[in-house]
Amino acid sequence: MFWYHAQTKHSWESVRSRPNYLEWEKQPVPFKIYNDFLSMTKLDDANPLHRFIYRIGGITAKKVYPGMEYYLRTIPSAGALYPVEFYFQAREVEGFEDGIYHFDVRNSAVKLLHRLGVEEGVEVYFEDTRQIRGFLFLLSTVCYRSSWKYKKRAFRYCLLDCGHAHGTLEASAWLNDYAATIRYRFDKEALNEAFGFGEREFFLSAAVVGAPTQTRSSYLDLKLPDINPPYEREPVIEKAYHDSLQLQGCRVQNRYEPFTFDKARFEEVIYQRRSIREFHGETISASMLKAILEHLRRPILSDCDEKVSIYYVVNRVEGVKQGLWLEGKLLREGDFSQKAGYLCLEQRLGSESAVTFFLTTDSANYQAAYQKAGHIGHRLYLVSEYLGLGCSGIGAYYDDETAAFLQTDEMILYALAVGR
């Protein structure tokens, strides 16, 4: 097991012996805003390409509390801290000058940070240096936004949030009849440097929405300034990031199975998606569970597709036996609803759901496996919303007790609850 995962487990004792005090005056701002840029384009709802970008991470709701307001987005985020930043390279895309852009979520705009020369491109840092005609997204994390609250465990949440971003990208791309391929095989450290990240931000993955051409990128003349505000560094997270950069034995997934949703309804779903706060303990139908599982099992286009197992505790599904299931097989029959809630750090979401999911892996490629768990989680959110059900990600669970309950040695990556 990756040392970082073992060091950041929650247990009944750890949660009680290390109470988490928040220093509110140090709360980070969840937006990165470049003041120096070459051009800025406000995203226009009437433009299909702009909508494509907006749906990946744009603001969909605003909450106002005395003394503060915050914004919710198409993407969920542990603690609504939004550590993920979106950059993209556009090449030969109508309405976009060839260049490298930042998605300025706060202003619903894209900012051109760098114009591309003919042979220039971020592809030079990829295993495959062929130039991409279309979009090449680069997803990074400013992990302090999350570690401010979740301390060392935050790297897990940053990876999950980034995986959710793969899910928003995939969904948004499908609406425009594109496919998004997740890429992990590139020199992240070199790009971190070119983007001026220092140790405050780092790239986790990329996504191609486009096609390779015959030309190869031969250089990237980029040196962006570091504009992240200073913060307290979290050495454990920095080490975990660097120690998990090297990939081993990646399996490529090329099989594409496009979604089959009604497009108009699915677009509404993307804008309406929210995390459920409380279930009413109602049942769902067996056909709903079947539709959910079918959707989760669709292959994910990726250059490093790691195996993630999907365990699920059936609490309230008409005509389906209560118990612990794995890949359509009943492992143990029984009412485990209270147990599932307990394992999710005693959150009632886990016990009052119709189904509580636990995603696990024994992958050696920690970053890729964790992001895949977030991606699957995002599919779960969207299909649930589509079916009129509620869903919530649950990043807080008792690691070892969950593994013991599932009778697995694998790492527990994520829990999610679905129901109504």
Interacting residues toward ligand FMN by CB under 6 A:
72, 76-80, 157, 160-161, 164, 274-275, 347, 349, 392-396
Q: In whole angstroms, what separates CA 124 from the centre of its chain?
A: 25
Phi, psi (deg, nearest 5) at residue 6: -65, -35
Q: Are 412 and 397 in contact (CB under 8 A)?
A: yes
| Shortest distance in whole angstroms from residue 160 CB to ligand FMN | 4
Q: Is 323 helix (H, G, I), strand (E, B) or coil?
A: strand
| Shortest distance in whole angstroms from residue 4 CB to ligand FMN | 16
Residue 111 vs 164, nearer CB to ligand FMN:
164
Tokens of 399: 């690691």
Residue 347 vs 351, nearer CB to ligand FMN:
347
Residue 4 vs 195, nearer CB to ligand FMN:
4
Residue 346 vs 362, nearer CB to ligand FMN:
346
Residue 134 vs 393, nearer CB to ligand FMN:
393
Residue 121 vs 341, nearer CB to ligand FMN:
341
| Shortest distance in whole angstroms from residue 338 CB to ligand FMN | 17
Residue 15 vs 80, nearer CB to ligand FMN:
80
Residue 123 vs 385, nearer CB to ligand FMN:
385
| Shortest distance in whole angstroms from residue 349 CB to ligand FMN | 6
Q: Are 2 and 239 in contact (CB under 8 A)?
A: no
**In which order are the strands placed within the sheet that holds 411-419?**
329-333, 323-326, 309-314, 355-361, 411-419, 390-394
Q: Are 33 and 228 in contact (CB under 8 A)?
A: no
Q: Give the integer Cα–Cα distance in Å for 206 and 140.
A: 9
Q: How far is CA 402 from CA 27, 311, 340, 365, 413, in A?
A: 31, 11, 8, 21, 11
Q: Are 414 and 348 in contact (CB under 8 A)?
A: no
Nearest partner of 307 among 317, 297, 320, judged by Cα: 297
| Shortest distance in whole angstroms from residue 49 CB to ligand FMN | 24
| Shortest distance in whole angstroms from residue 155 CB to ligand FMN | 12
Question: How does DSSP classify residue 126?
Answer: B
Q: Are 224 and 112 in contact (CB under 8 A)?
A: no
Q: Give the integer Cα–Cα distance in Å for 170 and 91.
A: 19
| Shortest distance in whole angstroms from residue 367 CB to ligand FMN | 15
| Shortest distance in whole angstroms from residue 70 CB to ligand FMN | 9
**In which order are the strands placed within the sheet that holds 99-104?**
39-42, 109-115, 99-104, 84-91, 130-141, 202-216, 181-183
